[in-house]
Amino acid sequence: MEPNENLSLNTEPTKHFLSLHISHNGAHKAFHLKKKQTLAICIAACVCIGGSAITIGSYFNAKNKLLASQQELQEVERTNRKLEQNSKALQSENNNYNENIEDLQNKAAELEQKINELEDVKNNLNDQLNNLSTNDSASAEIYNAVASCFEETKPETANFTPIVTTSFNKVTSLAVQLDRIDCHLNEAGTSFNEVASNVTETLSAYSDIPSGLPVKGYISSGFNPNGLSSISDGRVHNGLDISTRSKILPITATAAGTVTEADYRDDYGYYVLISHGNGFVTRYAHNTENLVSVGDVVKKGDVIATTGSTGQATGIHCHYEVILNGVFQDPMDF
């Protein structure tokens, strides 16, 4: 074996802790490490391996934290999107809420106006009733008739149950309730107007002021107390002649009162005279037949006679007079 050029020329034996022999292409090399050198290399290797392990651990730890942060960021973004959607929904709900509030205010104003109108009608009816004479024997009948009208058409009381959920649903529920109240008010208003009409007709039936005409027909001779030639035939005429076209029709009282005369005269023929109080008197003449007697109490619309041509008359008609405190009045004014 030939001596190696890299080996020391010192042939004295040397103690080594570790020897490493390497052969490559027929050449041989040997590395000798002392104990201290081997220890240093081991320590360096441990440091490198440990550092690498720590570095790799730190890398994966940082990577995991990054992934967690990305997931948290995505969750935050989803939460933000939900919040934006909720915000838009709340904004839309708030707009609807404001619109509903305005509608409710308008409906409340309409309902208040309707209630005020009904209250005015009621007060008007009460005033008419209070103005009736307490000494009038017909007053009790009037009050009974009015009371029965109100009892017959008294509307049913409606119960309203609120829905308690969100504020928007409360408003919506209130709007539905107002619609129902409005419907009931309309029904009550119709019923109340019918009652008002019935009461008005009842009061009118007992009114002591003449109104309307006693028979259906046409005016054949007008009112002409001064005998003016420009009116009718120019003769004095203290009332109206109402022609019934040769038909015998019922004559009705134009106001409530008491029959003071029911007789026959050459000029009037069969006639009826009714005293209504407060200075008013009405006369119905040329009747075919009188259907009431002196002392009878009548109300407006009661049939008291039938049309005819008795007395100084040229055709079937009703001669109608209105007298106030002894002075003839134009019946057309009433």
Q: How far apart are CA 214 and CA 191, in angstroms?
A: 30
DSSP codes, 130-197: HTS-TT-TTHHHHHHHHHHHHHHTPPPPPP-----SSHHHHHHHHHHHHHHHHHHHHHHHHHHHHHHH
Q: What does the pLDDT average to over 37-51?
A: 84
Q: What is the model's pLDDT at position 17?
A: 66
Q: How far apart are CA 120 and CA 107, in angstroms?
A: 20
Q: Which residues pair with 321 in a beta bridge?
A: 283
Residue of 286, 285, 288, 289 whose CA lies nearest to 274:
285
Tell whether the model's pLDDT for residue 36 goes beyond 70.
yes
Q: What is the model's pLDDT at position 318?
A: 95
Contacts of 114 (CB under 8 A, 6+ apart): 185, 186, 189
Q: pLDDT tens across 167-211, in order?
A: 566 666 667 777 777 777 777 777 777 777 777 777 666 677 898
Q: What does the pLDDT average to over 216-222?
A: 89
Residue of 318, 319, 303 whose CA lies nearest to 250:
303
Q: In which band, very low, low, confident or very high, does the pLDDT at 283 lie, cut at 50, 70 and 90? A: very high
Q: What does the pLDDT average to over 295-324?
A: 93
For the chain, the domains span 101-205, 218-333
| Range name among 154-163, 302-311, 316-325 with the lowest pLDDT average | 154-163
Q: What is the model's pLDDT at position 329?
A: 93
**What percentage of residues in the chain have a pLDDT greater than 90?**
27
Contacts of 260 (CB under 8 A, 6+ apart): 273, 274, 275, 281, 294
Tell whether the model's pLDDT for residue 130 goes beyond 90.
no
Q: How far apart are CA 88 and CA 215, in angstroms?
A: 74
| Range name among 67-71, 93-97, 165-169, 241-245 with the lowest pLDDT average | 165-169
Architecture of domain 218-333: Distorted Sandwich (2.70)
Q: What is the model's pLDDT at position 152?
A: 54
Tell whether the model's pLDDT for residue 44 goes beyond 80.
yes
Q: In which band, very low, low, confident or very high, does the pLDDT at 45 lie, cut at 50, 70 and 90? A: confident
Q: What is the model's pLDDT at position 3?
A: 46
Average model confidence (pLDDT) across the chain: 79
Tell whether the model's pLDDT for residue 65 goes beyond 80.
yes
- 162 close to 142: Cβ distance less than 8 angstroms: no
Q: pLDDT tens across 288-308, in order?
A: 999 999 999 999 999 999 999
